[in-house]
């Protein structure tokens, strides 16, 4: 379990996160939702230790993340960032291979190599594996970065808007993969996501952030209602149930 308590973060004079306390359950998919600029990515980056915590404490299974060695954290938590502007020319296979760096520290074993090949196959990247990152499309690059975090094989996987640039087929297959990881391998996954329908269909748990505060948090079926979502986004959202599935209509 990740627990965030009294977390406050500001950039310059602007308050981004205002006294946030929330818990993220283990072995589930948690959707981090909220309007643009609400502080979702900042929260995710703080959990992922991309930026130092200013005030408050974030702990992973009871351990303060600020006091855990970063090589240790890399074995427990993987992150896929939102901006993937890469200047370097790496082959897709090499990039995915670097996902095993925390395990092998530069000396890949057969196990590491096999894990990389498997990930390339599962993310439909085999055909692209010898291409350079700057010669493939944005969506393909996105998949390569997700595959890189996937081979890291950590208990926690954090993804910042992983569906960006993905077409319907790959978006569906990525969400199915995440579901599978949570259910079969008991992995814990946190995604920042804007597409409410994907979130409703796949996330077990919702955390909604608005203006730097937690608007609501809880099991999807308990908290994701037409009223709560409409208020969150300041726009009309209707949750409609059909065939036992929830859909969000907003236009």
Partner 1 sequence: MIPLLLILSGVSIFIGVGDLSASQLSFDNEEAWELFFISRWPRTAAIILTGASITICGVIMQLLLRNRFVEPSTTGTTEATMIGLLIVAVWFPDWSLFGKMSIAATCSLIGLLVFLKLAQNLPREQPLLIPLVGLIYGGILGAVATYFAFQTDLLQYLGVWLTGEFSGVIAGRYELLWIAGALTLFCYLIADRFTIVGLGERASKSLGLNYQSIVLIGVATVAITSSLVVVTVGVLPFIGLVVPNLVSRFMGDNLRESLPLVAGYGAIFTLFSDIVGRTIRYPYEIPAGTVFGVVGAVIFLWMILGRKNHV
Task: Kindly tell me the burial class for residue 42, based on how many C-beta atoms sit within 10 Å of its own C-beta (0-12, 13-18, 19 or more).
Answer: buried
The β-bridge relationship of strands 238-242 and 29-33 is unpaired
**Cα(251)–Cα(89) distance, integer angstroms:** 42
For residue 66, give the DSSP letter: G
Which residue, 132 or 247, has its beta carbon nearer to partner 1?
A: 132
Q: Which residue among 3, 22, 101, 171 contacts partner 1 (CB under 8 A)?
A: 101
**Cα(102)–Cα(197) distance, integer angstroms:** 34
Q: Which residues pair with 241 in a beta bridge?
A: 246
Residue 51, SS3 per DSSP:
coil
Residue 167, SS3 per DSSP:
coil
Q: Does 85 interact with partner 1 (rule: CB under 8 A)?
A: yes
Q: Does 74 interact with partner 1 (rule: CB under 8 A)?
A: yes
Q: Does 215 interact with partner 1 (rule: CB under 8 A)?
A: no
Q: Does 99 interact with partner 1 (rule: CB under 8 A)?
A: yes
Q: Does 34 interact with partner 1 (rule: CB under 8 A)?
A: no
Q: How far is the CB of 1 from partner 1 (least distance, A)?
A: 21
Restricting to residues 41-70, which ones interact with partner 1 according to CB under 8 A?
48-50, 70
Let me know: does 143 contact 125? Beta carbons within 8 Å.
yes
For residue 3, give the DSSP letter: E
Q: Does 20 interact with partner 1 (rule: CB under 8 A)?
A: no
**Cα(182)–Cα(201) distance, integer angstroms:** 14
Q: Which residue among 42, 140, 152, 220 contacts partner 1 (CB under 8 A)?
A: 152
Restricting to residues 129-148, which ones interact with partner 1 according to CB under 8 A?
132, 134-135
Binding range to partner 1, per CB under 8 A, among 27-35, 101-109, 208-216, 231-239: 101-109
Place of tokens 């590491």: 112
Which residue, 17 or 148, has its beta carbon nearer to partner 1?
A: 148
Q: How far is the CB of 92 from partner 1 (least distance, A)?
A: 10
Q: Which residue among 12, 62, 88, 241 contacts partner 1 (CB under 8 A)?
A: 88
Cα torsion 204, 35, 123, 61: sign: negative
**What is the binding site for partner 1 (CB under 8 A)?**
48-50, 70-75, 78-79, 81, 85-91, 94-95, 98-99, 101-102, 106, 132, 134-135, 149, 152
């Amino acid at each position: 379990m990740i627990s965030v308590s009294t977390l406050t973060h500001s950039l310059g004079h602007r308050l981004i996160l205002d006294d946030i306390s929330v818990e993220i359950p283990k072995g589930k998919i948690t959707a981090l939702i909220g309007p643009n600029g609400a502080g979702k990515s900042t929260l995710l980056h703080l959990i992922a230790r991309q930026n130092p915590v200013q005030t408050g404490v974030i702990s992973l299974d009871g351990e303060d993340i600020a006091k855990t060695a970063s090589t240790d954290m890399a074995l427990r938590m993987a992150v896929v960032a939102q901006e993937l502007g890469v200047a370097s020319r790496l082959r897709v296979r090499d990039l995915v291979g670097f996902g095993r760096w925390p395990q092998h520290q530069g000396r890949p074993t057969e196990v590491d190599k096999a894990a990389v090949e498997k990930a390339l196959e599962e993310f439909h990247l085999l055909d692209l594996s010898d291409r350079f990152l700057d010669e493939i499309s944005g969506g393909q690059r996105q998949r390569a970065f997700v595959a890189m975090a996937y081979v890291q094989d950590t208990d926690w996987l954090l993804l910042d808007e992983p569906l960006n640039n993905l077409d319907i087929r790959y978006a569906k297959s990525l969400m199915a993969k995440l579901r599978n990881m949570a259910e079969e391998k008991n992995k814990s996954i946190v995604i920042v996501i804007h597409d409410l329908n994907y979130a409703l269909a796949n996330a077990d748990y919702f955390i909604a952030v608005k203006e730097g505060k937690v608007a609501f948090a809880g099991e999807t079926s308990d908290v994701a209602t037409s009223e709560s979502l409409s208020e969150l986004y300041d726009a009309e959202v209707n949750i409609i149930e059909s065939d036992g599935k929830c859909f969000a209509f907003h236009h």
